[in-house]
Structures are given as C-alpha cells and as structure tokens.
Chain A
Amino acid sequence: MVPVATFRNIAIGQYIPGESMLHRLDPRTKIAVTLLLVVGLFFIDSYLGYGLAALYIALAVLNSGIPARFLFRGLKPVIIIILLTFALNSFLTEGEIIWQWGFLSLTKEGLYKGGLLAVRLILLIVGTSILTLTTSPLALTDGLESLLRPGRRVGIPAHELAMMMTIALRFIPTLLEETEKIMKAQMARGADFESGNLLQRAKSLLPLLVPLFVSAFRRADELAIAMEARCYRGGEGRTKLKQLAFRPADFFVLAGSGVFIVWLALVA
C-alpha cells in the first residue's frame, strides 16, 4: 500500500507547462503527427533512417525546451525491456558468430537487429512522451473531440466522450483528496490497510471503498443536477470558451512532418 503521506504527492500526468512553439501548436496537429510517427517508426529499417528520425525528435525536444531528464524519466520503466530486446536478439539471431560462451553465441546479424529494435523502442517512447509533456490532458481531450467529430455520423459520441473525459479529469484531484481523508479517518478508528494476506486486505479495504463510492456517486449526482439545471442537453450547438485554432504554423508542421515521416518510412 502506498503510505498515506506520499499519496498526496503523486503527480498526475506528465504535462509540463511552457510557451514554446510546440506547446502552442494545435493539439490536433500534435496528435496527428505523433500517430504518424508511431506508425512511421515501424517502417524504418536502417540505422540511417533511425538517425534522421532521432534528429527530428531531438529538434522537437529542443524546441519544446523540456529538460532531457523528463524524457529519460519516461524511459526508466522500460529500460529492462529495451535491454532484454537487445540481448535476446543479439544472442539468438543466427548468423556470423563473433563471440561465444557456452551455448550463447553473439552474432553480427543479431547485434545489428537488436540494436535496431532497441533504438526503435527508445524513439517510440521519447517521441510519444513529447506529446504528453507539451500538451495538457484537457487540450488532448479537446483535440480528440474535434478529430472524432466527423465520426458522429457513424455513431461515435465525440462530444459525450470528451465531456466525460473532462469531468473525469476534473474529478481526479478531488477524489484523490477524498480517498486520503477517508483512509486517515478509518486509520484513526483502527483500520489496518497494510497487513494480512490478499483476501484479508481486500476485506479491510471495504471501509475505504464504501464511503468513497458513496461520496463519489453523490458528487456525480449533484453535478448531473447542476448540469441539467443549467440546461445541459448534449453537444448540439454548444460553444467553447477556448476554441481550437488551426494556424499557419500548424499547417507547416503538419505538412512538413507528414512529408518527412512518410519519406523516411518509405525510402530510408
């Protein structure tokens, strides 16, 4: 169990506010380019291609002004996977043996392939974390709604989805505080959340869950009443305080990155 004291300091999300060009780009542009990059990286098949892609990502990082340590922090949980990918491929790919120890044989082809896959993983993780580092979850939600809007015709509830996500994001800090408060209250009454086997712990969590759920659903009820009292009736004709604006810079970034990534994927 996470100690109650540290629970408060859990950072939600990775977004780092800033004023760079990358921060100010339309979220739709950034989502589109990131998706293209994720797919594009899979088609690249050479170190030269990955070098160019790395250069492109480095340029984006420089522009965003995000300290490199935040990017490396994102890599930390996957470092084992990256190393394992590299090692497995290096030793288990058949080819020209350069070094042998027992049944393990390091091959030239394996080193090449393992390195390529490791670089691909690193670029994927760094490339996608730029999006969440420079774009707030709310902006991403707005962008997603706008991108999904054409799907309304085939039944994708773009507005409802975005509304629910916005509400969820707004509720996270409130419910976090509530959780902490209830945990402390129950601990003051002698509740023990931290010992026993799996089943005992599950049972001991009931005094936390029941009040938490009841209060959360009561809040939901109050919000629904408040929304209906203000005549909320779905997405048709709703306006926004902050309109998304697709500016010339977005056009250049989208067109430039699009052409570059497609070229990389097909040629390099």
Chain B
Amino acid sequence: MSGFKLIPFKSRGAGFERLISPHLESLYRQAYRFTGSRHDAEDLVQELLTRLYPKLKELQKVEELRPWLARSLHNLFIDTIRSRQRSALGKSDPDSEAILEVVVDTTPDPAGAFDQQDQARQLALALESLSEAHRDLIIMHDVEGYTLPELTVIFEQPLGTLKSRLHRARKNLREQIKMEPFKKTQRVSG
C-alpha cells in the first residue's frame, strides 16, 4: 500500500505549517483560477508543498512570502498542468492576435444587461479566450487582488511591461464581453 505512512508524532513540520497555513486558502484559490478544476488545483498545491517542504530554511528567509509563493505556484502551473494542456490543445502565443474562433450567444440582449449568472458565465468565457499571459495577469491582479509591484515579483517582469500588458488584457477582455449585443462569431485572441 503506497501513499500511506505513519507520521512521527513529534513532527518536524510545525515550522513549515506555521509558514504555509496562512497562505493555503489563497494558493488553492489561485490554483483553481489557473486550472479551472478543483482536482487539478488541489494537485497543484500538493505538488508545490511537497517540493517546498525540504526547503524550509529557504522559505524562512523569504521576506514577502505571499508573492513568492504565488510565483512558485504559477511557475509550477506552467511547468506541469499548462504544458500538458498545451500539448493537448496546441501551443498559443500569449500576445498574438486572433487565433481562436469562439462562437458566442447570437441573441442580442434587448435590455442591454444580463443577470449575474450570465455575467459570470460570459466573464469566464471571455477570460478563457484570452492569451495565457493576459489571462494570468487579470487573474492575479483583478481577480486575486495582487498589486502591480507584487506582480513584478510573481511574473518577474518590469512594472511598466506589466502595466501596459494589463491595459491590453483588459481591453481584450472588454472586447470579448461586449456590453453591446454579441456578433454571431467573434474572433478573439488566444
């Protein structure tokens, strides 16, 4: 029977738990935002923690653990799950134009508004249609609330680059959502 072991009661992991526990909920949420699957999100967090556990001393030296952990999770996501998704779906250039055709609702909303469920569904669809770089940035900044200075640590990019990328990402997102009635078929960036 693999996967099951007795745990020494005097765990050496107390320090690890103290460091990581306050961030677990946030890590899971981010993982879910990236993967779109509870199962994959839990796996991703598990993999991260298992890799980090032997590096406790390193972790204890990190001054800003929140963005540091977020960067680690994001990198792990790219190295594992996204690479798997890419191989299944084909590669996409993060900043390229229009490589994916998405058919969206063809019925104009007469009131020009939609209820919250529709909005959530359309937002999720629009987010999914963005390039990976744009999607990740919006997830971290607009959904999870990381600041741009924090994101320079997470994405290892200069602030100016991230700011202009965020601007483009939001513009693309708004174009996908289209507050006005949808066209029959929209050509969106992938």
Does B bind A? no
List chain B positions with a Cβ less than 8 A from chain A.
none
